[in-house]
Amino acid sequence: MPEQLHARVEACYQQAEAFFKQRFERPQVNFKLRGQKAGVAHLHENLLRFNPQLYRENREHFLRQTVAHEVAHLIAHRLFGNRIRAHGEEWQLIMRGVYELPADRCHNYEIARRQVSRYIYRCECPERDFPFTAQRHALVRKGRRYFCRSCRATLVFSGQQRLE
């Protein structure tokens, strides 16, 4: 785990402790997150997971905003309990009041989308196809059936695939 990220988590905790005048247990931190999310706070496990790809591509903003965003979730949970909304007023109070950062719910990092293969299914309707994911295609192979809402015929694999 990069030292800068670990140091930023610690700095966020020290800021919160100075503001609220109480000590908070430090979380486990790892880089085992992939996909579109930049970070995730697991409240009951006291765990922070971060996306290494998005960290590498957006280091400065990631350290300042994303790390504080996720730490604020853990702090809000410790202070206010389970019944608060994830991005509710308690979390916003911490983002704005403690960290003096915008309470943005989502990041706007550029995400490279990978190409996925779609399995083409057809019904009796003319010139109509249904692109299935690999997961849905596997379910069909195990016996699940899907139907066209227009003609009510069972969708059948055409033998074709395409990349999207």
b/e map 128-138, b = 16+ CB within 10 Å? eebbbeeebbe
Q: What one-character-per-residue DSSP string does the chain give?
A: --HHHHHHHHHHHHHHHHHHTS--PPPEEE----SS-SEEEETTTTEEEE-HHHHHHTHHHIIIIIHHHHHHHHHHHHHH-TTS-TTSHHHHHIIIIIS-----SS-----PPPP-EEEEEE-SSTT-EEEEPHHHHHHHHTT---B-TTT-PBPEEEEEEEE-
Asked if residue 72 lies in contact with residue 95, where contact means CB atoms within 8 angstroms, the answer is yes
Catalytic entry in 70, 90, 110, 164: 70
- Say whether 70 is catalytic: yes
Which residues are catalytically annotated? 70
